[in-house]
């Protein structure tokens, strides 16, 4: 009897050991993914259950991870709270902190990728900024949601699942930061929020989407052929918020005068991005003010408010004569970022133009 009990005990111990070993092996084989949270609707709660209103950045990174237990099948996760804000208040300070943390983490052998949770309002800007200054080919994936965590059919959990699966996928390496929402994968340079509330708000209107997620698996449709990450010459190592040059955006419309440009120049602006009509155009008054600014050494970049297409040199505006830079495929909000990083290196309009061709 005694022998039977002790052999049952031994069996139980052996079984527990085997199970523990199996779990340990499974965890060991899974990629290590860091989740860096910045806030946004994905971490937002409705202000009242019946209310359309909600507050971004209510839940912490650990709440987000815990809400999706399936994530533990895909990766070993650990979270860090970088900020907890609505991304309409995203700023250079958070960008520099986020970029520095990405660089530190991705340099570690035991980190395979990063997921950043972020509000959708400025997600494309953060993604593009990181594509220029993160010095690693490991996957960085930005996820958000269009519906707060407490809403009916919240999209945050599925977007987070897709984000983690993507960050854990070796095929995502070398593509630069990716944005994933609504089962659709976008390259940082292409992604653009184009609808106020719909789930398919992100589009890649110029070069098209990077791929799709299908039941947790990634299908890539195209390569990212523009310079990014390890092929980028930009760096924010050691930079403080005030080291980033002051670059402003001027939105063009019928009857625009030159006074806004003049005011910016009087405030010491180093670069102006014109969010122009059509092919990067604007009124004669604004053009004259921009020409004056360029003559005083302000870098002037022409982009288009249409939301897609190329603004090339010397089409309706004589960039050679006026000393302007063509924004090529970049939206004004992304052109501001490239111009800021470009101006941290050079004031030469020719070199700045080259950046707009390559990045
Ligand atoms: N304003 C919010 C944000 O960007 C709403 C957008 C969102 O997260 O979907 O944080």
pLDDT per residue over 92-146, tens digit each?
A: 999 999 999 999 999 999 999 999 999 999 999 999 999 999 999 999 999 999 9
What is the tally of structural domains in the chain?
A: 2
Average pLDDT score over the chain? 92
**pLDDT of amino acid 121:** 97
59/174 same-domain check = yes
Residue 60 reports pLDDT greater than 90: no
Spot the catalytic one: 41, 58, 117, 120: 41
User: Same domain for 221 and 260?
Assistant: no
Atom of ligand 1 nearest to the CA of 145: 9
pLDDT interval class at 22 (50, 70, 90) = very low
In a domain, 252, yes or no: yes
Ligand 1 lined by 119 (C-beta under 6 Å): yes
Confidence of residue 347 (pLDDT cuts 50, 70, 90): very high
The whole-number pLDDT of residue 349 equals 97
Residues 227, 249 within the same domain:
no
Q: How confident is the model over 180-220, as pLDDT tens digits?
A: 999 999 999 999 999 999 999 999 999 999 999 999 999 99
Residue 240 falls inside a structural domain:
no
Q: Is 56 in the pocket of ligand 1 (CB under 6 A)?
A: yes
- By most ligand atoms within 8 Å of CB, the mutation choice from 53, 87, 200 for ligand 1 is 87
Q: Which domain holds residue 339?
A: 245-358
> How far does the centroid of ligand 1 lie from the alpha carbon of residue 87, in Å?
6
- 41 as an active site residue: the answer is yes
pLDDT tens-digit series, residues 317-328? 999 999 999 999
- Average of pLDDT values for 145-160? 93
3-state SS record for the chain: CHHHHHHHHHHHHHHHHHHHHHHHHHHHHCCEEEEEEEECHHHCEECCCCCCCEECCCCCHHHHHHCCHHHHHCCEEEEEEEEEECHHHCCHHHHHHHHHHHHHHHCCCCCCEEEEECCCCCHHHHHHHHHHHCCCCCCEEEECCCCCCCCCCCCHHHHHHHHHHHHCCHHHCCCCCEEEECCEEEECCCCEECCCCCCCCEECCCCCCCEEEECCEEEECCCCCCCCHHHCCCCCCCCCHHHCCCEEEEECCCCCCCHHHHHHHHCCCCEEEEEEECCCECCHHHHHHHHHHHHCCCEEEEEECCCCCCECCCCCCCHHHHCCEECECCCHHHHHHHHHHHHCCCCCHHHHHHHHHHC
Q: Is 40 in the pocket of ligand 1 (CB under 6 A)?
A: yes
Per-residue pLDDT at 44: 74
- Whether 169 and 80 map to the same domain: the answer is yes
End residue of a domain, out of 231, 257, 288:
231
The answer on pLDDT for 46 being more than 90 is no
CATH of the domain at 291: 3.40.50.40
């Amino acid at each position: 009897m005694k022998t039977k009990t002790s052999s049952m005990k031994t069996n139980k111990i052996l079984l527990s050991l085997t199970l523990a070993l199996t779990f340990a092996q499974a965890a060991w084989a899974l990629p290590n993914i860091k989740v860096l949270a910045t806030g946004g609707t994905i971490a937002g709660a409705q202000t009242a259950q019946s209310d359309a209103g909600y507050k971004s950045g209510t839940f912490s990174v650990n709440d987000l991870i815990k809400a999706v237990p399936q994530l533990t099948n895909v990766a070993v996760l650990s979270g860090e709270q970088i900020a907890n804000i609505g991304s309409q208040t995203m700023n250079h300070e958070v960008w520099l902190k986020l970029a520095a943390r990405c660089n530190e983490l991705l340099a570690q052998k035991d980190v395979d990728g990063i997921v950043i949770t972020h509000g959708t309002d400025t997600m494309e800007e953060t993604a593009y900024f990181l594509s220029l200054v993160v010095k690693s080919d490991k996957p960085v994936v930005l996820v958000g949601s269009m519906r707060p965590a407490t809403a009916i059919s919240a999209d945050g959990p599925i977007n987070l699942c897709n984000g983690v699966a993507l960050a854990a996928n070796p095929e995502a390496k070398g593509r630069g930061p990716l944005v994933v929402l609504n089962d659709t994968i976008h390259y940082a340079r292409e992604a653009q929020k184009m609808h106020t509330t719909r789930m398919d708000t992100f589009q890649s209107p110029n070069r098209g989407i990077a791929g799709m997620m299908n039941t947790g698996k990634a299908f890539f449709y195209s390569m990212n052929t523009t310079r990014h990450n390890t092929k980028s010459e930009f760096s924010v190592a050691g930079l403080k918020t005030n080291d980033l040059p002051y670059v402003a955006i001027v939105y063009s419309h019928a009857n625009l005068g030159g006074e806004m440009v003049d005011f910016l120049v009087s405030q010491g602006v180093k670069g102006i991005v014109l969010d122009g009509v059509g092919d990067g155009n604007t009124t004669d008054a604004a053009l004259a003010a921009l020409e004056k600014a360029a003559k005083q050494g302000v870098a002037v970049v022409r982009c288009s408010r249409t939301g897609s297409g190329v603004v090339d040199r010397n089409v309706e505006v004589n960039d050679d004569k006026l000393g302007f830079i063509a924004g090529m495929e970049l939206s004004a909000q992304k052109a501001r970022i490239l111009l800021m990083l470009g101006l941290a290196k050079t004031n030469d309009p020719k070199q700045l133009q080259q950046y707009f061709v390559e990045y």
